[in-house]
Amino acid sequence: MADQEAKAQRVRSLLSAYYTAGADGGAPGQTRSAASIDSAAFDTEAYISNLARALRARARASLFTPLAAQLKKTRLDQLHNKYASMTSEIRALDSDMQARRAGVAPAP
């Protein structure tokens, strides 16, 4: 019983720390009136600036960055050919999957 109460207290503490942390990544439990959306002193510019900074950082770390670089280097006709070959592969795989679901052996 005491173990469950301690666990519940820890969960409440973590949730409280999460929801009271400053928008600038301040330490949990420290609230800043300018960071609270409900506050009259809410700083819209700082909030948007922090949000944009976080989104730019996430975009830099994106898995699609190498793909975007490759797309910039590849000629349009090569991209179109790749698109056509991938489309035919997808259609063939889809046909195979539908045939397997229906219990029919796929065509070679």
Q: Which residue has the higher pLDDT, 46 or 1?
A: 46
Does 1 score more than 70 pLDDT? no
Does 30 score more than 50 pLDDT? no
Q: Within a domain: residue 2?
A: no
Asked if 24 and 35 touch (Cβ cutoff 8 Å), the reply is yes
Q: Domain span at residue 86?
A: 74-102
Q: Within a domain: residue 96?
A: yes
Q: Within a domain: residue 53?
A: yes
Q: Within a domain: residue 78?
A: yes
Residue 85 has a CB neighbour count (10 Å cut-off) of 10
Q: Within a domain: residue 98?
A: yes
The pLDDT of residue 83 is: 92
| pLDDT per position as a tens digit, 95-106 | 999 988 888 765
Whole-angstrom Cα distance, residue 68 to residue 55?
A: 17
Number of domains in the chain: 2
Same domain, 54 and 35: yes
Same domain, 59 and 35: yes
Q: Within a domain: residue 15?
A: no
Whole-angstrom Cα distance, residue 6 to residue 4?
A: 5
For the record, the structure tokens of 7 come out as 């666990």
Q: Within a domain: residue 91?
A: yes
The pLDDT of residue 31 is: 47
Q: Which residue has the higher pLDDT, 93 or 25?
A: 93
Whole-angstrom Cα distance, residue 108 to residue 101?
A: 17
Does 47 score more than 60 pLDDT? yes
Q: Within a domain: residue 56?
A: yes
